[in-house]
Amino acid sequence: MSSTKAAKGRDAKTPAEHVPHPLLPFLQSQSQNTLTRLYQRPSACLSIFRLLGPLERQLVMNLLWLESAIPSLTMAAWVTPEGKILYDSSLLVLSRLHIVTNLLNPATKQSPKLNLNTTFKTSFRQAITGGGTSGSFGVPAAKDDKHPSSGVEALDAFAVERWETILHYMVSSGTGQVLAKPSAGVLYLLQRSRLMATSHGSALQITSAGFQFLLHSPHDQLWQLLLQYLHMAEERQMDLVEVLSFLFMLSTMDLGRVRNCNVEYSAESLSDTQKAMLEDLRDYGLIWQRKASSRRFSPTRLSTTLTSSLPPLPTSASTGTGTQDQGFIVLETNYRLYAYTDNPLQTAVLNLFAALKYRFQNLVVGAVTRDSVRKALANGITADQIISYLAAHAHPQMRKNNPLIPVTVQDQIRLWELERNRLKSEEGYLYTAFASQADYEYVLNYAKQLGVVVWESPAKRCFFGSLEGHANIRGFIERRTGGGGGG
């Protein structure tokens, strides 16, 4: 079963499991000029460094303090045979990000030399050793005695409230409930990322991508939205470097490390673009400001965990016991599901794929049924997403089980998914009644070259071609019959 395979993989800790961070492809698509400007900021270097894979990070570290380029053969000699593939792909990622320069000198025919991008090297060294005048880690605001800064709990509560408003709005958009609406900026973002859509001017409705989104981890959700934000920033003529470096600055800021009260940062030193971002990020719950015009801001846990794998929303405000990071779902082999939560959002998400029966103060009881799963599948959620959501939020008590999710339930959910796909359809044309076998093969070969043959039967001397190939095939036959006079 796939679950045992996954468990084995975890034990072996095969590095191939590392999934590249969603931001990296976006960065790779940027021009070298943009990246070099970004690398001028130590905080950006540190954050990007943290988004890299483990081997990539080590390679950067190995190169960081070297003054001159080293032959890549020398570096490769450190790699074990098992690590070769990963090493090569790591170097590729680094050179695509323009972090490592792979100096190939065809004239001298020497082996290529590895070096860090000079800008990156300078800034990252500065990040490690401190100092400099870049101010890229955020300028702390002077103590404000009139308004003592709010505690970490208040910030967490704010972030959770903002974030859950967004998710709750999405999940309940189909049910007709009237809920607190997120701001227009957020709604636009949701629409642009195709998580929600309007049909014929009606109210926003959640899309199948949106349903899938709801089952992701908060960290993935956050980055998915931020990536969309970055794409939009390009259209809005915002300077991408400013936008990115502000996000990275936030991710290196401090939350509650000092005496459990947050440091407030001054907005004065921000660029105009970044000041404009304050409002957007406030709507997403990434930063907190006393009031919109305030000249200081505090990052919330959502932003300070951007480059880590810590849960961005450690404790939900409404679940006092912090069940969110603990996991709250117990699923039995008889398909019964017990969810220890009083969080309406979690209940609503469960309702996407489970039939809920009873609700108590801190407990929701339901069952995974054929109908409930089919409803979820119809919404575009896949069986794997349901299973991985259940696994990610499993109650500690359930984690004793191996495999985590009862095999019966897992298999059944997958079977229900397969059941929906008993009938596959493809529109096109059936070509039949060929005069001769040679004719048939001649046309069939042409269609195969086009790659449009869906089904063929030499015995019946007919084949089925997809719709898009029809014009070409008809033209082909007409040319032939016109020219050769046969058929």
Window 458 to 477, contacts with another protein (CB under 8 A): 460, 462, 464, 470, 473-474, 477
CB of 213 to another protein, least distance (A): 20
Burial label, 203 (beta-carbon count in 10 A; 0-12, 13-18, 19+)? exposed
Q: Per rule CB under 8 A, is residue 321 in the interface with another protein? A: no
CB of 106 to another protein, least distance (A): 22
| Alpha-helical regions (H) of 285-381 | 301-304, 323-326, 344-350, 370-378
CB of 385 to another protein, least distance (A): 18
- What is the distance between the alpha carbons of residues 303 and 483, in angstroms, rounded to a whole number? 70
Q: Per rule CB under 8 A, is residue 370 in the interface with another protein? A: yes
Sole residue written with tokens 């990020």: 281
Site for another protein in 290-309 (CB under 8 A): 305, 307-309
Pairing between β-strand 265-266 and β-strand 296-299 as defined by DSSP bridges: antiparallel
CB of 201 to another protein, least distance (A): 25
Site for another protein in 188-247 (CB under 8 A): none
Burial 90-107 (b: 16+ CB within 10 A, else e): bbebbeebbbbbeeeeee
Cβ closest to another protein, residue 203 vs residue 467: 467
- What is the distance between the alpha carbons of residues 395 and 328, in angstroms, rounded to a whole number? 4
Site for another protein in 135-164 (CB under 8 A): 135-140, 143
Q: Per rule CB under 8 A, is residue 267 in the interface with another protein? A: no
Segment near another protein (CB under 8 A); pick from 99-107, 193-201, 364-372, 405-413: 364-372
Q: How many residues line the site for another protein (CB under 8 A)?
A: 103
Segment near another protein (CB under 8 A); pick from 58-66, 281-289, 295-303, 379-387: 58-66
- Give the three-class secondary structure for 343: coil
Q: Per rule CB under 8 A, is residue 182 in the interface with another protein? A: no
CB of 297 to another protein, least distance (A): 14
Q: Per rule CB under 8 A, is residue 4 in the interface with another protein? A: no
Q: Which long-range contacts (CB under 8 A, 24 or more apart) does 402-409 make?
A: 402/7, 403/1, 403/3, 403/4, 403/7, 404/3, 405/3, 405/331, 406/331, 406/332, 406/333, 407/1, 407/3, 408/333, 408/335, 409/331, 409/333, 409/335, 409/368
* Torsion angle defined by CA atoms of residues 246, 248, 251 and 254, in that order, rounded to the nearest 10 degrees: -70
Q: Per rule CB under 8 A, is residue 110 in the interface with another protein? A: no
Q: Per rule CB under 8 A, is residue 49 in the interface with another protein? A: yes
Peptide bond into 299 cis (omega under 30): no
Segment near another protein (CB under 8 A); pick from 69-77, 167-175, 236-244, 289-297: 69-77
Q: Per rule CB under 8 A, is residue 411 in the interface with another protein? A: no
Q: Where are the beta strands (DSSP E) in 171-260?
A: 196-197, 205-206
Cβ closest to another protein, residue 174 vs residue 311: 311
Burial label, 393 (beta-carbon count in 10 A; 0-12, 13-18, 19+)? buried
* Amino acid symbol at 202: S
Cβ closest to another protein, residue 159 vs residue 255: 255
CB of 228 to another protein, least distance (A): 24
| Contact residue for another protein among 62, 102, 150, 183 (CB under 8 A) | 62
Cβ closest to another protein, residue 228 vs residue 456: 456
| Contact residue for another protein among 14, 105, 205, 321 (CB under 8 A) | 14
- What is the distance between the alpha carbons of residues 50 and 20, in angstroms, rounded to a whole number? 11
| Contact residue for another protein among 202, 424, 471, 484 (CB under 8 A) | 424
Q: Per rule CB under 8 A, is residue 132 in the interface with another protein? A: yes
| Contact residue for another protein among 57, 275, 336, 414 (CB under 8 A) | 57
**Closest of 118, 108, 136, 129 to residue 32, by C-alpha:** 118
| Contact residue for another protein among 17, 88, 220, 272 (CB under 8 A) | 17
